Amino acid sequence: MAATIKDIARVAGVSTATVSRVINNLGGYNEETEKKVMAVSKELGYRKNENARSLVQKSTNTIGVIMPDVTTAFYGDIIKGIEDTSYEYGYSVILTHAGSHGSRIHESMNLMGERRVDGLIIVSVELHESAIQSLTSLGIPYILISTKTDREDTPYMKVDDYSAAYTAVKYLIEHNHRTIGMAGANPHDPIAGEPRMNGYKQALQDYGIKVDLNLIKSGGFNFESGKSAMQAFIEDEAAVTAVFCASDEVALGIISTCYENEIHVPNDISVVGYDNSKVSHMSVPPLTTVAQPLYDMGREGCFEVIAAIQNKSKIESKVIPHELVVRKSVKTVV
């Protein structure tokens, strides 16, 4: 059985209050007492019980993180940012998946509530009205990273997908592409799908290019979706000279199918990805892509939550600037 402060108190011949003071460095005891307590504490192999502390202080020093069911390097970076920051400020991270398509979201939030996390970070999960209510009912600071809701009062941190997509497509147009396809966005996804698609369309329109719906191959944000999109372009005999992809994985799918069909990237077709995930510089050719500062978003989002916990301040939503990382998957049309 692990030693408690009572044990220390008994052995050291002091009260539990004094032990507590010494252990928490609160001062107000003489050196001798301190030494004795520390010695006994070490001797008994004492280890503080955070849960007991949490109970009386009504704060657990934990941050809950809820994320989707899927594993991509994408989440890894965000989580690392979160964990680094929590660690810095003395918080622990409790992690849970929200299930595919957020099926477990209510259970997840309930769990976080029962664990009495001091703050909550929700990554990339689409929240509906009832989920938002569970969320606010927890009565703790929270932030959404890389997702948002319709409601003004739900703080989030994400890049503006519409304008990021616009930037990417504009870049292709400026490199003289006129027949530009789009792959891998789900138009029914109001967070990451629809806005990217709209940015794509608007860029074309602003440059006087007609939007051809046949050039839009919607789907998931994954590799397979990219493969089948490219397959479709080939079968359609669509004369696309470039494809804007809703994620890097989709872009790799495009490139993979091109390779199988002896279509060369970027000589025969240019490709732009989205995320600047780790794979983007590992691809052949290295991928030009839209960068979201994932690690920093994790760090900053977590920081905001901790600040809100400690100062009881309100968290403001924040749009993170995006950036186009130019590598080698786009060629100028001559």
Residues of the chain by 3-state class (helix, strand, coil), percent to 5: 45, 15, 40
Question: Among 5-13, 65-73, 300-308, 324-332, which window interacts with DNA (CB under 7 A)?
Answer: 5-13
Contact 67, 79 (CB under 8 A): yes
Q: Please report how close the Cβ of residue 61 comes to DNA at its closest, in angstroms.
A: 11
Binding-site partner at residue 331 among DNA, a copy of itself, none, CB < 5 to 8 Å by type:
none
Q: How far is CA 208 from CA 29, 178, 181, 197, in A?
A: 79, 10, 16, 17
Closest CA to 225 of 187, 261, 173: 187
Q: Please report how close the Cβ of residue 143 comes to DNA at its closest, in angstroms.
A: 25
In three state form, how does the secondary structure of 212-251 look?
CHHHEECCCCCHHHHHHHHHHHHHHCCCCCEEEECCHHHH
* Residue among 140 and 157 whose Cβ is closer to DNA: 140
* Residue among 12 and 67 whose Cβ is closer to DNA: 12
> CA torsion angle for 30, 33, 35, 39 (degrees, to 10)?
-160
Binding-site partner at residue 13 among a copy of itself, DNA, none, CB < 5 to 8 Å by type:
DNA
Q: Please report how close the Cβ of residue 133 comes to a copy of itself at its closest, in angstroms.
A: 11
222 binds DNA (CB under 7 A): no
How many residues sit in the footprint of DNA (CB under 7 A)? 31
Which one-letter DSSP state was computed for residue 27?
A: -
- State residue 63 phi and psi, 5-degree precision: -120, 130
Residues 44-73 close enough to bind DNA by CB under 7 A: 46-49, 52-53, 55-58
Q: Please report how close the Cβ of residue 114 comes to DNA at its closest, in angstroms.
A: 9
* Residue among 21 and 201 whose Cβ is closer to DNA: 21
Q: How far is CA 219 from CA 62, 250, 328, in A?
A: 37, 9, 25
Q: Please report how close the Cβ of residue 69 comes to DNA at its closest, in angstroms.
A: 29
Which one-letter DSSP state was computed for residue 211?
A: -
Question: Among 22-30, 151-159, 221-229, 247-255, which window interacts with DNA (CB under 7 A)?
Answer: 22-30
What residue ranges bind DNA (CB under 7 A)?
1-2, 4-6, 13-18, 20-21, 23-24, 27-30, 32-33, 46-49, 52-53, 55-58
